[in-house]
Amino acid sequence: MKFRWTLPQTTLGRVSSPQSPSGDPAAADVYSERLYVPAWWWLAGALLTGIVGYEISLAAHGASWSVVGYFVVAILIAWLLWSMGRVHIRVTADGELVADKATLPRAVIDRAASVPPTAKSAALGRQLDPAAYLMHRAWVKTMVLLVLDDPDDPTPYWLVSTRHPEQVLAALNVIDARHAPAPTDRD
């Protein structure tokens, strides 16, 4: 069984999403998280807007149209920060993990673990398998590692950024491999 890349169904420009009987799309999910950029990035963006806008007005030698530079830079920076923080992590009621636009059924997950901030660089560095699926956001400190057991799929595991790895693992109903009880050897 291969994992599915799904794109949202669109109808007349509107994105349709699964809904619960009450009509609320978020209620159909067991877990949902949006990976917003940190708030201080917005403050840094405002500062950058002021600096670049001022440089534009200096280059225009104080022309009356130079104030437009502030607005254009502000719109570009706001769009960039908004687009970086619009990634969703969801676990549906059917037990599927939806990481941005990729979907992973629960049935193919063999084992899982949370990746703490201290192990994140190793997991993304020298230990990374090039065939792994990554949904990484640098400003999110923790991740989940989902090892797959699917002979038809060459992807060995998924690494997904999340602020609450224990909640994602609980919603998927998998035990964290680091905290699983040790197997007993009975003769």
Q: What is the pLDDT of residues 123-164, one digit of tens each?
A: 999 889 999 999 999 999 999 999 999 888 899 999 999 999
- Region 96-115: mean pLDDT is 92
Is 80 exceeded by the pLDDT of residue 15?
Answer: no
* Mean confidence (pLDDT) of the chain: 82
Cα–Cα distance, 104 to 155 (Å, whole number): 11
- For residues 102 and 135, give the distance between their C-alpha atoms in angstroms, rounded to a whole number: 9
> Distance between CA 142 and CA 114 in Å, rounded?
7
3-state SS, residue 157 = strand
Question: 179 pLDDT band (50/70/90 cuts)?
Answer: low
* Interval 31-54 mean pLDDT: 94
pLDDT > 70? residue 32: yes
End-to-end CA distance of the chain: 36
The band of 99, judged by pLDDT with boundaries at 50, 70 and 90, is very high
> Could you tell me the pTM of the whole model?
0.71
Evaluate if residue 62 carries a pLDDT over 90: no
- State how far the Cα of 48 lies from the Cα of 54, in Å rounded to an integer: 10
